[in-house]
Amino acid sequence: MHNYYIFKNLQSFITKVQSNPLLSVLMASIVLSLGWYVHPIFTFIGFVPLLCLFDSKELSNKKLFFYSYIMFLVWNILVTWWVVNSTWIGAILAFVLNSLLMCIPVILTRFLINIKKFIYLLRSFKFVIFIFFWISFEYLHMQWDLTWPWLNLGNSFGHAHYLVQWYETTGALGGTCWVLLINILIYRLLIRNNFKRKVILFVAFILPMLVSLVTYFTYDNKEKSIEVVVVQPNIDPFEEKFSGTSKFIPYNVQLDRMMDLSKQKMTENTEFVFWPETSIPQGYDEDLMSTQPEIFRIKDFLAKYPNATLITGADTYKIYMKEFDKLTTSRYQEGLGWYDYFNTAVCIENKNKLQFYHKSKLVPGVECMPFPVLTKYLNVLAGDLGFIPGSLGTQPERLNFVNKSRVSVAPIICYESIFGEFVSKYVQNGAQFLAIITNDGWWGNTPGHTQHLAFSRLRAIETRRPIARAANTGISCFVDQKGDFSERTNYAQQDVRKEKIFTNKSISFYVSYGDYIGYYCVFASFISIIIAMFFKIFIK
C-alpha cells in the first residue's frame, strides 16, 4: 500500500511539471544527483521528465536541446562541482562540454522519432533507440582523449553494490541499461496505466535485485589469503608534497613518514605494501633510479621484511637514446634529448630490479592535452590555463607486478580505476588481486573522494578480485570480491591498515568479454541511423 501511494504521488508530480519544461528538467537534475549522494534508486526516475519532452508536439528540436542541456549541465555541476578545487578552468570546461555531449543521444533519438514511417515499425519500442544511443555515448566517451565517465549511470551503484552483483556478467554498462529501462517503463505506465505494464515494470525492477541479493549473500571469497598493508601518509598535495610550495615537506621527511607508518603494521608474513600515487615525487630517470639514495633506503627498510614487496607511486622519466624510439608524447630538451615524463607505479624488492608501470588512462587537461596533433600549438598557454604543457607518457599493455610467491597484482593508478574494461585487461593478463594507488587530496574533503572510492566496489565485482586501496589522503581500505569494505581510514589522517585478502584466479564473464553491451549498442545505433535515413530519403 505504501508503494502504491508513492507511485500515485510520482504520477501527480509528473503531470504537474510536464506543462513547465524548465521546472521539469531542473527537478530531474536534482533527482539524478541524489543517485550519487543518497541512493542509486533515484536514477530510476531521473530521466522520466526528459522522456515526457520527447513526445511533446509543442516542443521544437531546438527547445528540446536547450532544456536537455540545462538538465545535464545542472546534473554535472551538482555531482562533480568539487573538480573546481583542482582547477577552475578545467572544471568549467568539463561541465560545459560533458553536458553538450550528453545531448547527442537526446537529439538523435528525437530525430529518429520524427521519421514517422520508420518509428511506426517500432511502435511502443521506440525508446529502445534511446537506450542504444545513450549506452553508445557512455561507451565511446570512455575511449577518446576527452574521456570523463564519472556520470555514467551504472557508476551510481557504487553506493549500493549489493544490488548489482551481476556486474560480473554485464559490467557497469549493464547498470546503465537497467536504469534507462526502468525510466522508460515508468513513463509508459504513466501514459497508460494497465496491469500488464505494472507487471513488466515490477519484474524488470525486482528480478535483477533478487538475483544480485542471492549472489551477494551466497558468494564466498576465494582462493589463497595473503597479508597486505596500505599506507595513508596524508601529505597535502597543494602545499606540502612538491618542492616550491609554501609548506613543502622535504622529500626525505616524506619518505620517513611512509616507512614509519609501514612499520606499524608490517610483519614477517606481509607480502605486499602499498604507498599512494606520487609517493616519490622527485622525478627520477628510470634507467638510474635504482642507484638513488632513496631507493637504497627503501631496500634497507625492506631487508627487515624478507617476504615483502613494496609498490609505490612515483614521478619518473625516460630518455630515448635514439629519436625513433620516442613516443608521440615525447618532449625535447636541449642537452637532454627526447624524453617522456610518467605517472608511475614502481615495484621495489630487496634484491630484484625495479619494475615500472606507467599510468595510461590520463585525466584530460591535467595529465594530457587532448588531440595532441590539434592542440600542440596551445602548449605554450597550457600552464597559464591550469593545464600541463604536453602530455604524460603511457604504455600500450596492462602490466602486472609479480612478487616472490608468484602472486600477481594489478597496479591501477587513480583515474584508471573508473574504467571497467580497462581494469579487466590486468585480470586477463593474470592479476590475482587489484591495487589502487591514488591521491584524492586534490579535491579536498568533498564528495569527490567518496565517489571515487565507491567506484572501486564496481571494479571488484566486475573482476571478482579483491582490492587494496592506498590513498595519499581520502580513504584507504580493502575491498573484497563482492565489494564490501574493510579497514577503512578517515579523510585527512595519517594511517596504516593491514588485512588478509583472498586472491582469485577465476575469470568472470565480464573480464572475458569486456564492454560487449557497449559494442552491441554502438552497432545497433549505427544500423538504426542507416535504416532511418533510408526511410527519410526513399520512403515517402
Grid-cell match 614502481, residue found: 346
Same structural domain, 203 and 262: no
Same structural domain, 66 and 172: yes
Q: Is residue 89 part of a domain?
A: yes
State the total domains in the chain.
Answer: 2
Same structural domain, 164 and 193: yes
Q: Is residue 385 part of a domain?
A: no
pLDDT score, position 105: 96
Per-position b or e across 313-325, b if 16+ CB within 10 A of its CB? bbbbbbbeeeeee
Same structural domain, 110 and 238: no
Q: Is residue 159 part of a domain?
A: yes
Residue pair 450/484 in contact (Cβ under 8 Å)? The answer is no
Same structural domain, 458 and 525: no
Kind plus residue range of the DSSP H or E element containing 216: helix 195-218
Same structural domain, 237 and 165: no
For helices 172-191 and 516-538, angle between their N-to-C axes, nearest 10 degrees: 50
pLDDT score, position 126: 76
pLDDT score, position 335: 76
Same structural domain, 277 and 341: yes
Same structural domain, 262 and 299: yes
C-alpha–C-alpha distance, residues 396 and 69, integer Å: 36
Same structural domain, 262 and 198: no
Query: Which has the closest alpha carbon to 433: 488, 485, 489, 478?
Result: 478
For helices 61-80 and 447-463, angle between their N-to-C axes, nearest 10 degrees: 100
Same structural domain, 107 and 234: no
Q: Is residue 367 part of a domain?
A: no
Query: Which has the closest alpha carbon to 255: 228, 276, 239?
Result: 276
Where the chain has pLDDT below 70, the residues are: 1-18, 117-125, 323-325, 372-390, 540
Q: Is residue 202 part of a domain?
A: yes
Residue pair 262/496 in contact (Cβ under 8 Å)? The answer is yes
The three-class DSSP label of residue 109 is helix
The three-class DSSP label of residue 502 is strand
Strand partners, 468: 435, 478
pLDDT score, position 121: 64
Residue pair 503/224 in contact (Cβ under 8 Å)? The answer is yes
**For the segment 355-395, what is each residue's pLDDT rounded down to a tens digit?**
999 999 999 878 887 776 555 555 444 444 444 456 899 99
Cis peptide bond upstream of 223, omega within 30:
yes
Q: Is residue 388 part of a domain?
A: no
Same structural domain, 171 and 123: yes
pLDDT score, position 387: 43
pTM: 0.92
Give the E-state strand segments of 124-252 in sequence order: 225-232
The CATH number for 336's domain is 3.60.110.10
Same structural domain, 294 and 271: yes
For residue 497, the enclosing domain spans 225-360+395-505
C-alpha–C-alpha distance, residues 239 and 248, integer Å: 6
What's the CA angle centered on 151, arms 21 and 416, to 5 degrees?
165
**For the segment 333-352, what is each residue's pLDDT rounded down to a tens digit?**
877 788 899 999 999 998 78
Lookup: cell for 393: 607518457
Residue pair 346/295 in contact (Cβ under 8 Å)? The answer is no
Q: Is residue 389 part of a domain?
A: no
The three-class DSSP label of residue 229 is strand
C-alpha–C-alpha distance, residues 64 and 536, integer Å: 21
Q: Is residue 382 part of a domain?
A: no
